[in-house]
Chains A and B, each alone.
Chain A
Amino acid sequence: MFVEVVAPAPGSPPPRAARPPLGRRVVAGAQPYLYLAPALALLGVWTYRPLAQTVQLSFYSWNLLPSTPMTPVGLRNYQRLIDLPDLGQAAVRTVVVIVGLLPFSVVIPVLVGLVTRQVRDRARVVYQAMVFAPTLVAPVASAAVWQWLLDPGAGVVNKVLGTRLNWLHETGSAQFAIIVITGWSVLGFATLVVSAGLAGINGDYGEAAQLDGASRGQITRWITLPLLSPTLVFLVLMTVLLSAQWTFPLIDTLTQGGPARATTNVYYLLWDYSFHSYDAGLGAAAGVLLFAAFGLVAAGLVRLSERLSFHDD
């Protein structure tokens, strides 16, 4: 007679261990949140509370004096922003600054990064330190130095170029000067980011492409740049969102938004409304609009970067 071989018997679950007392479970459960608490508290106090207050302030008229009461004005601040030409003009100038900075924050760093890929070891560290140095110079200090360099009378720039331009006080050249100086200080940071991005690309792809018969140019165009695109989107995102902030200390030191508002971008305008014109409500309303607009742009770019990142596994 055949007897079937019996499968190993499934066990019955052992009795549950007694749960620890409620107090201890609460403490254990709260632990990760306690670790997070300091960072969350700072974020709340310094970012989200001011944001909420800005939104609140944008519905009031107030001249920043503690003794003056805040008057609720509903949507009138927003109405004024739309009626005044300032915001639109500043937005256009901001776009000019962003576009003007892209060569410094993306194009040149990529070229430099590709060319200097062969630099290795100690030479690489030295070169990166040198490239990064301008980023470490305090903006106000560099502004002072550039003011001397761009001086219409004795400035080195005019001497070298053989021009007699009053760089910072003519509408055409002031914006250009601000862009170039900002670009100079951002270049090093962007180059480091690109170098890191290039170093993160597995060398096997380039080698495989070489054996597949691709030329250097083809490898750069078909392999390296597409694999670098998440880094490039990150740099574009930084430029779009932060260029107005990067230029702010230079504008405030060198041109104060002039001449004839030629260097007044949205951030400077916002600051001008609130702290020069003492129209806190209008400044806050401009801030809220900017927050919304930049938020949308950022969301778009983040989505783009997610689509472009190739999980390399």
Chain B
Amino acid sequence: MSRIQIESASKRFGEVTAVDRICLDIEHGEFLVLLGPSGCGKSTLLRAIAGLTPLTEGRIRLADRDITNIPPRDRDLAMVFQSYALYPHLSVERNIGFPLRARRRSRAEIQQQVRDVAEILDLTELLARRPRELSGGQRQRVALGRALVRDPGAFLMDEPLSNLDARLRTATRSELTELHRRLRSTFVYVTHDQVEAMTMATRIALLDHGRLEQVGSPTEVYDQPASTFVAGFLGAPPMNLLDAQLVSRAGRLHAVAPGVDMPLDIAADLPTREVVLGVRPEHLSLTGANPVLHGVVRLVENLGSEEVAHLVVGDTRVCLRGQRPLSLAVGDAVGLHSAPRHAHLFDRASGRRLVWRDDHAQVPTAPAELDLPAS
């Protein structure tokens, strides 16, 4: 069992708070992806789990053991670095065997285990080579082999695919997922690439400015983004976000702004409220009964199977994604349709998601309840 519990972890570098009171409970066997833009604190958090960066405050437990003040070498964690950090003066065999050599295992045992790992990762032919004689993908596999060889409590990975070309990255993604399935071990994986996060994670933790924005399965974070940050980070292109007013009209709620009139299918009589309306580009279409957005086409991008149209609604840029051909031309004034269930609402001031509860007159903002454990 290798559950990792992060309890109110903070890391400050002078005036800068890199990690801000983060609580995360990573169950045994999870593939947790720490996702966020550069500078969001995800790598610092991973390094804190590894023990390379001491926390300013908070506690980290591994398998119910407090490891906050335990040096990295005694933490029973393996890490794959972004640079791979393969020891340049050692052969592939000695690189993979290094963790065992440091633990004073017998030569025969080291050799056997290295060969087993090399077999799994298809590195047998390369055991005698030095790291500089390897391609990027091979180096990545050697780094993985060095982590695998000693059966650690959990695997930490710091953007391990970012140095690979696009095709290799796609292939390695599925290999990592396969590896995780086979090992049933805990993976904590740092990336800024939402595709990696969506495809590999069992759970995604989204960070911004050192704070946890949302934790949930890929489906949850994509379908119910907890904040405008999450909504604007995930998706390509990301969710359209429009400043709007929530108004009651004949007992029903509408999100209204210049060029925008979106019925929300909620029966309520509320005072007007400033909100942010979010609609995913793929949930907008050019056909339907009543257009909810009115805009002018500024650019059409051909993605091969689909097209993305960039429009201006009021003074906000809005994207529409749909099957090719959209049959739109620059300058066209069009109405866009969407179903009420595709509307996402966020509080204008806090940016947090607004959820409708029938038993409350007031729409609640509830950041805390969104830290749901994985199902």
Q: Mark A271-313, 1 if CB is under 8 A from B, else 0.
A: 0000000000000000000000000000000000000001111
Q: Does A86 touch B at the CB level, under 8 Å?
A: no
Q: Mark A215-234, 1 if CB is under 8 A from B, else 0.
A: 10010001100110000000
Within B195-247, the residues touching A (CB, 8 Å) are none
Contact, CB under 8 Å: A210 / B72: yes
Contact, CB under 8 Å: A212 / B146: yes
Contact, CB under 8 Å: A213 / B83: no
Contacts of A205 in B (CB 8 A): 85, 87
Contacts of B50 in A (CB 8 A): 207, 211
Q: Does B189 touch A at the CB level, under 8 Å?
A: no
Quote the shortest CB–CB distance from B128 to chain A (angstroms): 16
A202-B85, A205-B87, A226-B89 given; A214·B78 CB < 8 A: no
A312 CB contact (under 8 Å) in B71, B88, B156? B88
The docked-state distance in angstroms from the alpha carbon of A222 to that of B73 is: 15
Quote the shortest CB–CB distance from A304 to chain B (angstroms): 14
Q: Does B256 touch A at the CB level, under 8 Å?
A: no
Contacts of A218 in B (CB 8 A): 102
Contacts of B74 in A (CB 8 A): 213
Contacts of B89 in A (CB 8 A): 226-227, 310
Q: Does B129 touch A at the CB level, under 8 Å?
A: no
A310-B89, A310-B132, A313-B132 given; A211·B102 CB < 8 A: no
The chain B residues found within 8 Å of chain A, CB to CB, are 50-52, 71-75, 77-79, 81, 83, 85, 87-89, 98-99, 101-103, 130, 132, 146, 150, 156
Contact, CB under 8 Å: B132 / A212: no
Instruction: Name the residue of chain A whose CB is nearest to the CB of B77.
Output: A211
Contact, CB under 8 Å: A214 / B81: no
The chain A residues found within 8 Å of chain B, CB to CB, are 202, 204-205, 207-215, 218, 222-223, 226-227, 310-313
The docked-state distance in angstroms from the alpha carbon of A207 to that of B72 is: 8
A226-B89, A227-B89, A311-B88 given; A210·B81 CB < 8 A: no
Quote the shortest CB–CB distance from A213 to chain B (angstroms): 4
Some 13 contacts from A to B, beta carbons below 8 A apart, are: A207-B50, A207-B85, A211-B75, A211-B156, A212-B78, A212-B99, A215-B73, A222-B98, A223-B87, A310-B130, A311-B88, A311-B132, A313-B132
The docked-state distance in angstroms from the alpha carbon of A226 to that of B52 is: 23
Contact, CB under 8 Å: A210 / B83: no
12 additional A-B residue pairs with CB within 8 Å, beyond A227-B89, A310-B132, A312-B88: A205-B87, A207-B72, A208-B79, A208-B81, A210-B71, A210-B73, A211-B50, A211-B77, A212-B78, A212-B99, A213-B150, A310-B130
A205-B87, A310-B89 given; A210·B52 CB < 8 A: yes
Contacts of B150 in A (CB 8 A): 213
Contacts of B72 in A (CB 8 A): 207, 210-211
The docked-state distance in angstroms from the alpha carbon of A312 to that of B71 is: 27
Contacts of A204 in B (CB 8 A): 81, 83, 85
For the A-B complex, the count of residue pairs with Cβ-Cβ distances under 8 Å equals: 68
The docked-state distance in angstroms from the alpha carbon of A312 to that of B84 is: 12
The docked-state distance in angstroms from the alpha carbon of A226 to that of B91 is: 13
The docked-state distance in angstroms from the alpha carbon of A204 to that of B82 is: 9
Contacts of A312 in B (CB 8 A): 88
Contact, CB under 8 Å: A207 / B52: yes
Quote the shortest CB–CB distance from A252 to chain B (angstroms): 43
Contacts of A313 in B (CB 8 A): 132
Instruction: Name the residue of chain B whose CB is nearest to the CB of A201.
Output: B88
Contacts of B156 in A (CB 8 A): 211
Instruction: Name the residue of chain B whose CB is nearest to the CB of A226.
Output: B89
Contacts of B88 in A (CB 8 A): 227, 310-312
The docked-state distance in angstroms from the alpha carbon of A246 to that of B75 is: 50
The docked-state distance in angstroms from the alpha carbon of A208 to that of B72 is: 9
The docked-state distance in angstroms from the alpha carbon of A209 to that of B52 is: 11
The docked-state distance in angstroms from the alpha carbon of A266 to that of B75 is: 57
The docked-state distance in angstroms from the alpha carbon of A213 to that of B73 is: 4
Contact, CB under 8 Å: A211 / B132: no
Across the A-B interface, give the 4 residue pairs with the lowest CB-CB distance, nearest first: A310-B88, A204-B85, A208-B85, A212-B99
Contact, CB under 8 Å: A214 / B73: yes
A207-B72, A310-B132, A311-B132 given; A213·B85 CB < 8 A: no
The docked-state distance in angstroms from the alpha carbon of A212 to that of B152 is: 10
The docked-state distance in angstroms from the alpha carbon of A204 to that of B88 is: 12
The docked-state distance in angstroms from the alpha carbon of A222 to that of B77 is: 20
Contacts of A202 in B (CB 8 A): 83, 85
The docked-state distance in angstroms from the alpha carbon of A312 to that of B50 is: 24
B78 CB contact (under 8 Å) in A211, A215, A222? A211
Contact, CB under 8 Å: B71 / A213: no
Contact, CB under 8 Å: B102 / A214: yes
Quote the shortest CB–CB distance from B164 to chain A (angstroms): 15
Contact, CB under 8 Å: B81 / A207: yes
A227-B88, A311-B88, A311-B132 given; A215·B102 CB < 8 A: yes
